[in-house]
Amino acid sequence: MTQKIRLSASAIKDFKACPIRYRNAHYYGIRPIVDTEAQRVGTNWHKIQEINGAGYGMDGVIQKLNEVYDEIPDVMDKEKLEIERIILLYSLSGYNWLYQNQQEKVLATEIKFEIAWSNQNYEF
């Protein structure tokens, strides 16, 4: 019995560039961990919203951002990261101002969980 394979444009591009990379990414599910700017900013935005919502205020937010941006590798542009940090702080200040009269209370936030990964089609 033949197995149907569905290919996206990115899968075909990966295969043309390197068949081994295609196999690793699309068959075995092995992909490099990439910290993109959008992921970093989004993760930090949600983290400071959690801290702010938990009642730690701007002092807690500043402390967390200082911790996060102190851990970033030296190879990245420090000025750009400082601007990113300041944008997050100003954005949260604007968010607080806009929603200062909000009547709803937060009952719960996201809960972390882990799922075991397995590929049923692959034999070890």
Greater confidence, 119 or 23?
Answer: 23
Q: Which residue did the predictor score with more confidence, 101 or 92?
A: 92
Query: In this model, does residue 115 exceed pLDDT 90?
Result: no
CB 119 within 8 A of CB 29: yes
pLDDT tier at 38, thresholds 50, 70, 90: confident
| pLDDT, tens digit (0-9, with 9 covering 90-100), for 16-33 | 999 998 888 888 888 877
pLDDT digits (tens, 9 = 90+) for 45-99: 999 999 998 889 899 999 999 999 888 777 788 888 899 999 999 999 999 999 8
In a domain, 47, yes or no: yes
Give the integer Cα–Cα distance in Å for 122 and 124: 6
Question: Is residue 124 one of the residues assigned to a domain?
Answer: no
Is residue 19 a part of any domain in this protein?
Answer: no
Give me the number of domains the chain comprises: 1
Question: Is the confidence at residue 124, as pLDDT, over 50?
Answer: no
C-beta of residue 51 within 8 angstroms of C-beta of residue 68? no
The residue range of the domain holding 44 is 37-98
First to last CA, the chain: 21
pLDDT for position 118 = 62
Asked if the structure places residue 103 within a domain, the reply is no
Predicted model pTM: 0.59
In a domain, residue 80? The reply is yes
Token reading at 86: 């300041």
